[in-house]
Every structure is written in structure tokens, then in C-alpha cells.
Chains A and B, each alone.
Chain A
Amino acid sequence: MDETTFLEYLSYPFVQNALVAGVMISLCAALLGVPLVLRRLSFIGDGLSHVAFGAMAVAGVMNFSDSMVLSLPVTVAAALLLMRAGRGANTGGDAMLAMLSVGAMAAGYLVMNLNPSSSNVSGDVCTTLFGSVSILTLTTLDMWLSIGLSAAVCVLWLLSYHHVFDMTFDEAYARASGARAGLFNAVAAAVVAVVIVISMRLVGTLLVSSLLVVPAVAAMRVAKSFKAVCAVAAAFTVVCSLAGILIAVVAGTPVGSTIVGADIVAFLAMALIGRILK
């Protein structure tokens, strides 16, 4: 029977770290998710997270102290490759994404089984895929890296808000107006990759898409302007991530699934509010 009080749980440093890192990660994911959903790129999160999983597996086998050292550059490279492939004639971007996604996932699991770095391969894979306690077991370096990268993404997003707006709704107009669309897309692809890699520590590989997609879709149920959608998505994700982590801590449920569960419940509430407001 759990006799630890809620305040005692909050007094543990790793719970405090998880709350701060979790909020920052979900905030930058939600902001990035709005233009991704509007540009019909919702599945890119899923694909890139599978690539990151493969890179993490190789990093584990090579005994890297921090898997991000390999997973970050590999995922950024995959994102840039996908961006170029999307413009190619031979293989469509979505087909390339699918191939890269399943190929990396399979390769990662194969590598982990052939060269296990721990005696509990299944448990490690399960934790990585679903993020059951990953956010609660961050090292100090992991935590500051996650917070730092999230903050950098948020600042970059705010500073380039007008470019994001133009490229989201009318890329052709943006190009005609002199915007460096190619550079913008490359930077955007890299930023998406960074957000995917750090989001995996919160909700795991398989549930990363939820952090990108659900806040944006929920916000669109009640807000009409781009600015309002971004603001509502940001508030939505902060509330749901906090609630998800705290419920998981007290109720003993996996953190990743609980956050996604909170997102879905909140989305249904927003959908209902949207209908009433109409």
C-alpha cells in the first residue's frame, strides 16, 4: 500500500527535475507541432523517433555514456535526407520515411539483441519505447541538455515566428517574397529532429507523435487564428504534461502513457468545448 504522501513525492529531486524538463520538452514539441500538423507532416515525428531508436541502440552497444551523442546527429541527418527525398522524383518522401523508420527500428532491436549492454534487453527496450520512467531517471547532464535544447527551440521559434507563419500557409508566396525557403526548411528539419530526440525521454519512442500532434489538433478545436492556436497548444501541453507526470508518480502508472492519456482526455474536452462554442 502506498503510504508516501504527495508532498513527499514532490520533495524528491528527480521528481522536481522531471517536472521542469517534462514541461519544457512538451512546450517546444507543441509549438513545433502546430506548423507540422498544418503542413500535413504529422507522421514525421513517428518516423524520426524510430531512426533515433536505432541510433540509441547502436550508442548503447558502443557503450556511449550518453546516447544523445549519436542519436542527435543521426536523427538530424535523417531529417535532412527526408527533406531532400521529399523533393525527389524516384522515391516519394512518405515512402522514404516509412523505409527509414522500420529499417532503423529493426536494425536497432537486432543490434541490442546481438550485443546486449545489459542483462535486461526486453526491459530496456520496453522502457525506451514507452518511456515508463525515463524522465524520472535523467542524469543531471541529461536534464540540463533537455532543458537547454528545449529553451533554444522555443526561443528560435519565437524569433522566427513570421517565417514559420509564411512557410506554413504559403511557401510559394514566401519564396517569391525573398524568404530563403531552402534554408528555412533545412533548419526546420534539424529542429524537428532535435525535438524528437529529447521528447523520447519524456514519452518514449512510440508515443512521441502525441506530443507534436495532439496539442495542435486540440487547440484548433477552440482557437481560430494561428497565434491563438499556438498559445492554446502551449497551455494545453503544459497542463497535460504536469498532470500526466504527477498522476503517474502517485498512481504508479507509466509516465509516457499517462501523459498521452491526459492529452487525449483533454482533447476530448476541448472538442466538446469547441462544439458548444460553435
Chain B
Amino acid sequence: MKHCTMKLALAALAAAAFAPLAAHSADAPAQPAAPRKIKLDLAKMSKTIRTAWAVKLLQNPEDFKGDIIQIVGDFYADEPEDEGGERRYLCALKDAAGCCTLIDVEFRPREKLSWPKDFPEEFTPVTVNGRVEVVRDGKGDAMPRLADAVIVRQKK
């Protein structure tokens, strides 16, 4: 009996010790994620250099594999052709004249986002950063894709 009482007392003590911590975790606002170390930030470059980097990304995506890059372009979603297929989210990087799309870079958001509520309006400018991975398209050509992507919200 004495043994049981001691165990109960210890349990109560532990609960009392950890309770404030639990309460703190439940009530406190989430800390913003630490800013990513972006290796190549196309958003901070002139249009000419941005286009040159985009061409290099298209020509040799393997050279950027694993790098965190930030790109700027027009956002759009590509609906799957088959019923069970996945929707793809893309950022269309324009050429230097801004008239034509140079390369469509697919990105996979890091967080679970709800379509279309959590996404920007289609065919509007977006800034996206993510880790470059290389995938093959239907013709077997290597294409870049951004994994763990974050859509940078523009401040109004």
C-alpha cells in the first residue's frame, strides 16, 4: 500500500512538472521556420542574368542537383490526364523579352497545401524556392524539379 502510494505521488509530481511545458506548447504560436540558405536566388538578379541561369538550368539540371534555388515566374497547375493521377504545380520561367516561356519548373510543396485555397491565383507571378532534383520527362530528357518547395508570399 505504501509502495503504491509512493508511485502515485511520483506520477503526480512528474505530471505537475511537465504540465506547464505542455500548456506552453499548446498555446504558444508556432515559431517561424529558420530561413533557408539559398544558393542561387534568381529573384535578386537582373532579367538578363536570370534568363541565362534559367537556360543553364534547362541545359544541365544535373549541375544544380541538391542546391536550394529560388525562382521567379508565373504559377499554374497542370491537372492530371488520368483520374488517379497527381496534380502538378509549375512555375513558368520567361525568356529575357518576357514574351515566351523558357522552362516550366515543377515544384512539390514542403507543406501539405489545399488546392486551390492555399495556392496563388493561376498565371500570376510567384517566387518559389526549393531543393533541385532531376527527373526524366516523357522523352527521357533530364528536367529540374524543386522538392520541399516553399511559395514565398509577397507582402502587400
Contact = CB atoms under 8 A, between A and B. Distances in A.
Which of B46, B50, B52, B100 has most chain A Cβ within 10 Å? Answer: B52
A199 interface: no
Interface string B91-123: 000011101111000000000000000000000
A4 B101 contact: no
Interface in B56-112: 56, 59, 95-97, 99-102
Contacts of A2: 44-46
A123 B98 CA distance: 9
A12 B49 contact: yes
Contact of B51 (A1, A120, A122, A133): A133
Nearest to A250: B46
Contacts of B46: 2, 4, 9, 249-252
Contacts of A139: 59
Nearest to B51: A133
B51 A132 contact: yes
Contacts of A255: 48
Given A120-B102, A123-B99, A14 B56 contact: yes
Contacts of A3: 44
A120 B49 contact: no
Contacts, number: 74
Given A127-B95, A132-B97, 12 more contacts: A2-B46, A3-B44, A9-B45, A14-B56, A119-B101, A123-B102, A126-B95, A132-B51, A136-B48, A136-B55, A252-B96, A254-B48
Interface of B: 44-52, 55-56, 59, 95-97, 99-102
Contacts of B55: 133, 136-137
Given A4-B44, A123-B95, A126-B97, A9 B102 contact: no
Interface in A4-24: 4, 9, 12, 14-15
Contact count band on A? 20 to 34
Interface of A: 1-4, 9, 12, 14-15, 119-120, 122-123, 126-127, 132-133, 136-137, 139, 248-255
B48 A248 contact: yes
B97 A249 contact: no
Given A14-B56, A123-B101, A137-B56, A132 B45 contact: no
User: Which of B55, B59, B95, B101 is packed against the most chain A CB atoms within 10 Å?
Assistant: B95
Given A3-B44, A137-B56, A137-B59, A9 B99 contact: no
A253 B47 CA distance: 7
